[in-house]
Amino acid sequence: MESGGDRKGISSFELSPEGLYQNSLWAGQKMRFPFRRVFTRETMVNLLFILPSVVLVGYFVYVLIGWNVVVSVSNWKGLTPSYNFVGFGQYVTLFHDPEFIKSLTNNIILILLFVPTSLGLGLLLAILLDSKVRGEGVFRSIYLLPFSLSFVITATLWAWMYNPDVGVINTLLKAIGLGFLQSGWTTDPSIALYCVILAIIWQFSGYTMLIFLAGIKSIPESQIMAAEVDGATGFNLYRRVVIPQLRTSTLSAFVVLMIFALKVFDFIYVLTGGGPAADATYVVPLKMFIETFLRTNFAYGAAIATILFLIVLAIVVPYLYFFIWGEKD
Amino acid sequence: MGGKGLRFPKPRRIILYVLLIVFVFLFLLPLWTDFTTSFKSIHDIIYTVPVELPLSPTIEPLITAFNLMERPLLNSLTFTVVAMIFSCLLGSINGYILTKIKFRGSNTVFLLFAIGVFIPYQAVLVPLVLTISQLGLYNTLGGLILTHTAYGITITTLLFRNFYGLLPDSLIMAAKVDGAGTWTIYRRIILPLSLLPFVVAAVFQFTSIWNDFLFGVTLARGSEAMPASVALANLKGTTAFNYNVQMAGALWYALPVLIIYLVLGKYLIRGYMAGAIKG
């Protein structure tokens, strides 16, 4: 577009977009007004900077999501891709598939237990740590440690915890004389799901604690003092002054926990593989993985993935909208 | 440390510390038994309770586990470091353009990136495997680097954007008046001020790429590029190895993250705070 590529020419152009056109091929040409405004050289240069990222994210996130939807309405089964359009049959089949219903039910139970408990435990830990505790930093680091570890590690650890024969929990119970509480844990279909939930609460509570702790610390000291002058103390102070101001922290933690609960996969895959009793700990993402990569029902797996995506989107978009365009707060 | 309320009277403070210490035990129990079991022989596993220290400590399980996981650990280290560098550099440039240069639609671009942070990867998995295979990158470190870079950009952009948003615009204005271009401003002004966000983003990216399992198990199951996460899951899945070897394997795989957590923990926390989420 421009003939002189030297520094000076470029920067003088940046100061006045019109400047360039006088020295360039475009000089004297009458261009359509808005086109010239929008596609100034500066804009093009800026776009060039983020182009690699836009291409990568555009392709790997958006094109692939679209492609996945296309797969979900095809008849692709088995190892060779096939894109014959068969409509939304996969989606209808899903809701008559007992294994999918079981996965969905388990996922809902998991959300209902995991999300509020992690929020509550995190808040409790944050309140305890905010009480002028000696060694606050050490406690905080210990509670947050599980969150930093890979789910494959924590699943391996909890498999050892729950092992019915030689595992940590059963041998410990026996050693302290509570042998009657011993159980099959993850090998018992009636409680395996709750064992999974307990372990992920263990892994995530430190994270919610961190979010709440930051929220508590951002409340101005003067407000606390004022409330104390009014006679609010201890837990009353928290209930009346602190907790009502943690709305943003609660929302952030809630969204993060919800999304994790919806895409929980690694941990369950490694800990129980979906078992015992065939499907006791099936959740939606696990069902998706098994259908797709173990049973090669690609279209069916893609349909499950699409449903999962839509649910997550319904939570994330309002949240991001709130944070990106409501940032004035 | 700026604690707000709950100025417990004395007897209640004792309850407070008892509670905190009980939680310490609960949070550390699985990690402690991992540690003790990694140093136990088969004999000690049978004759001691898992929480007990070994009768006669041995590093045999650690050696066995390391021999099994050496290649995967090296694979993980390679693709994690490279993808971490790429995603941080690109995220920094994006953060700069989206906060300091801004153009029509820059908020929309940012929203599209931010949604990418939260999407469940299941929603791209089938076409992703096809794409990586068609590029000839299935079972290669290159495939993992490309994938982790692409999805990593979304979160690093968010991190750098948050940070650069705090830099005053006047900084850039002055340079612009002096005739500096977009790239010059980035290199001379923005980059030298970016040590902190680079550390935060690098630490965050390292741990999340290192911890990944889903991409590893779908894109690199063969030994050529198998990540340590997949190797550990395989180790756990085979009954051929006893618990001491599994626990030792977990310890090896956890080691780099534990070191980062101990040395650079406060930066990792800043990453977590930025609305970040584990893949």
Average pLDDT, chain A: 84
Which chain B residues have a beta carbon less than 8 Å from that of A168? 29-30, 33, 50-51
Same domain, B7 and B46: yes
B:181-240 residues touching chain A, CB 8 A cutoff: 181-183, 207, 210-214, 218, 229, 232-233, 236-237
Q: What is the DSSP letter of B1?
A: -
Going by C-alpha positions, the residue among A194, A190, A195 that lies closest to residue A163 is A195
A contacts of B218 (beta carbons < 8 Å): 293
Domain end residue (candidates: B42, B58, B74): B58
pLDDT the model gives residue B102: 77
- Which of A221, A206, A186 has its CA nearest to residue A256? A206
Give per-residue pLDDT as tens, A194-226.
999 999 999 999 999 999 998 898 888 888 888
Range of the domain at B50: 1-58
Q: How far is B87 from chain A (nearest CA, A)?
A: 9
d(CA B67, CA B60): 11
CATH number at residue B206: 1.10.3720.10
* Domain A92-325 class in CATH: mainly alpha
**What's the half-sphere exposure (Cβ side, CA atoms, 13 Å) at A131?**
24
The per-residue pLDDT for range B69-109, each reduced to its tens digit, is: 999 999 999 999 999 999 999 999 999 999 888 777 788 88
Q: Is the pLDDT at A63 greater than 50, yes or no?
A: yes
B174–chain A nearest CA distance, Å: 12
* pLDDT for res A36: 56
CA angle, residues A73, A74, A76, in degrees to nearest 5: 135
- Helix intervals (H) in chain B: 10-38, 42-47, 60-96, 106-118, 122-134, 141-164, 169-177, 182-185, 195-211, 214-219, 228-237, 243-273
Bridge partners of A74, per DSSP, are A85
Asked whether A158 and A269 are in contact (CB, 8 A), the reply is no
Mutation target for B interface from A38, A53, A176: give the one with most B CBs within 10 A: A53
**Looking at the complex, does the CB of residue B151 fall below 8 Å from at least one CB of chain A?**
yes
Q: Tell which residue, B112, B88, B56, B192, has the closest CA to residue A58.
A: B112
Query: Quick check: B53 contacting A, CB < 8 Å?
Result: no
Q: Is B103 at the interface with chain A, CB within 8 A?
A: yes
User: Looking at the domain assignment, is residue B240 inside a domain?
Assistant: yes
Give whole-number Cα distances, A285 to A189, A277, A288, A305, A306, in Å. 19, 18, 5, 7, 11
Q: Which of B16, B43, B58 is the last residue of a domain?
A: B58
B192 Cβ partners below 8 Å, 6+ apart?
none
pLDDT at A199: 96
How confident is the model over A93-110, as pLDDT tens digits? 999 999 999 999 999 999
Same domain, B146 and B182: yes
Q: Is the same domain home to B104 and B241?
A: yes
Q: Which of B16, B111, B153 sits opposite A131 (nearest CB)?
A: B16
Rounded Cα gap, residues B172 and B189, in angstroms: 8
Query: Which one of A150, A172, A309 has the shortest CB-CB distance to B211?
Result: A150
- Residue pLDDT, tens place only, A251-277: 889 999 999 999 999 999 999 998 888
Q: Is A317 exposed, middle or buried (0-12, 13-18, 19+ CB in 10 A)?
A: middle
Question: Closest approach of chain A CAs to the CA of B203, in angstroms?
Answer: 11
CB-based contacts of A95, cutoff 8 Å, min separation 6: A101
Same domain, B121 and B194: yes
Question: Which residues are registered as beta bridge partners of A85?
Answer: A74
Is a pLDDT exceeding 80 seen at residue A241?
yes
State how far the Cα of A83 lies from the Cα of B205, in Å rounded to an integer. Answer: 36
> What is the helix (H) or strand (E) element at residue A99, kind and residue range?
helix A98-129
B240 φ/ψ angles, rounded to the nearest 5 degrees: -65, -25
Select from A148, A168, A313 the Cβ nearest to the Cβ of B29: A168
Same domain for B77 and B26, yes or no, is no
Q: Does the CB of A71 have a partner CB in chain B at under 8 Å?
A: yes
Looking at the partner chain, which of B26, B130, B272 has a beta carbon nearest the beta carbon of A207? B272
Using the Cβ of A158 and the Cβ atoms of chain B, whether some distance falls under 8 Å is answered with: yes
Q: In angstroms, rounded to a whole number, what is the distance separating the alpha carbons of residues A205 and A140? A: 11
**Looking at chain B, how many residues does it have?**
279
d(CA B39, CA B33): 10
pLDDT means over runs of 10, chain B (279 residues): 52 86 95 93 85 89 94 97 97 92 82 89 95 95 97 94 89 84 88 94 96 96 92 84 89 96 92 61
Which residue from A289, A294, A288 is spatially nearest to A100, judged by alpha carbons? A288
At position A77, the amino acid (one-letter code) is K
* pLDDT for res B274: 75
d(CA B109, CA A199): 37
Q: What's the pLDDT score for residue B2?
A: 44
**By the CB < 8 Å criterion, does B11 face chain A?**
no
Residues B168, A192: Cα–Cα separation, whole Å: 54
Residue A143: name the closest of A196, A212, A210 by CA. Answer: A210
B36 & B119 share domain: no
Q: In the prediction, which pLDDT does A144 show?
A: 95
Indicate whether B279 belongs to any domain.
Answer: no
pLDDT tens digits for range B189-218: 899 999 999 999 999 999 999 999 999 999
The Cα–Cα gap between B248 and B4 comes to: 42
Nearest Cβ partner of A150 from B3, B90, B213?
Answer: B213
The answer to whether residues B28 and B144 belong to one domain is no
Please, which pLDDT band fits residue A291 given cuts at 50, 70 and 90?
A: very high
pLDDT in the model for residue A240 = 81
For chain B positions 233-262, those within 8 Å of chain A (CB to CB) are 233, 236-237, 243, 246-247, 249-250, 253-254, 257, 261
> Closest partner residue to B20 among A128, A158, A224, by Cβ?
A128
Does B66 lie in the same domain as B53? no
pLDDT over 70 (residue A249): yes
**Count of structural domains, chain B:** 2
CB atoms within 10 A of CB A111: 18
| Contact (CB<8Å) B6/A127 | yes
CA distances for B220 relative to A57, A316, B81, B144, angstroms: 21, 30, 17, 8
Report the residue of B6, B22, B90, B178 to disrupt the A interface, i.e. the one with the largest count of A CBs within 10 Å: B6
pTM: 0.88
Per-domain residue ranges for chain A?
A: 7-66, 92-325
Measure in Å the smallest separation between the Cα of A91 and chain B Cα atoms. Answer: 15
The answer to whether position B103 is within a domain reads yes
B149–A133 C-beta distance less than 8 A: no
Instruction: Say whether residue A285 is in contact with chain B using an 8 A CB cutoff.
Output: yes
**Residue contacts between A and B (CB atoms, under 8 Å):** 320
- Residue B278 belongs to a domain: no
Q: Give the count of alpha carbons within 13 A of A82, CB side only.
A: 15
- Tell me the pLDDT tens digit for each residue of A152-198: 999 999 999 999 888 889 988 988 888 888 888 998 999 999 999 99
Chain position carrying tokens 């797709």: A292
pLDDT at A3 over 50: no
Q: Quote the crossing angle between the two packed helices B195-211 and B243-273, to the nearest 10°.
A: 150
Do A57 and B112 make contact, defined as CB atoms within 8 angstroms? yes
Nearest CA in chain A to B173: A15
Q: Are B41 and B56 in contact (CB under 8 A)?
A: yes
**A224 touches B at CB < 8 Å:** yes
What is the per-residue pLDDT across A27-58, written as a single tens digit (0 to 9) for each?
Answer: 444 445 455 555 667 677 778 889 999 999 99
- Indicate whether B74 belongs to any domain: yes
For residues B95 and A32, the answer to whether their CB atoms sit within 8 Å is: no
Instruction: Note whether B33 and B118 are same-domain residues.
Output: no
Q: Do A60 and B147 touch (CB under 8 A)?
A: yes
- Euclidean distance between the first and final Cα of chain B, in Å? 33
Q: A160 and B50: CB-CB below 8 Å?
A: yes
Q: Position B152: which residue type?
A: G
CA distance B228 to B212: 9
Interchain CB distance below 8 Å, A302 and B126: yes
Chain B residue with minimum CA distance to A313: B119
**B112 found inside a domain:** yes
Do B148 and B103 fall within a single domain?
A: yes
Report the residue of B122, B176, B214, B234 to disrupt the A interface, i.e. the one with the largest count of A CBs within 10 Å: B122
Closest CA to A111 of A313, A247, A329, A311: A311
Co-location of B47 and B114 in the same domain: no
Q: How far is CA B77 from CA A251, B83, B264, in A?
A: 35, 10, 18
Question: Is B214 contained in some domain?
Answer: yes
- Of B9, B37, B58, the one marking the end of a domain is B58
Quick check: A268 and A196 in contact, CB under 8 A?
Answer: yes
ipTM score assigned to the predicted complex = 0.91
The pLDDT of residue A319 is: 83
**Same-domain pairing of B136 and B225:** yes
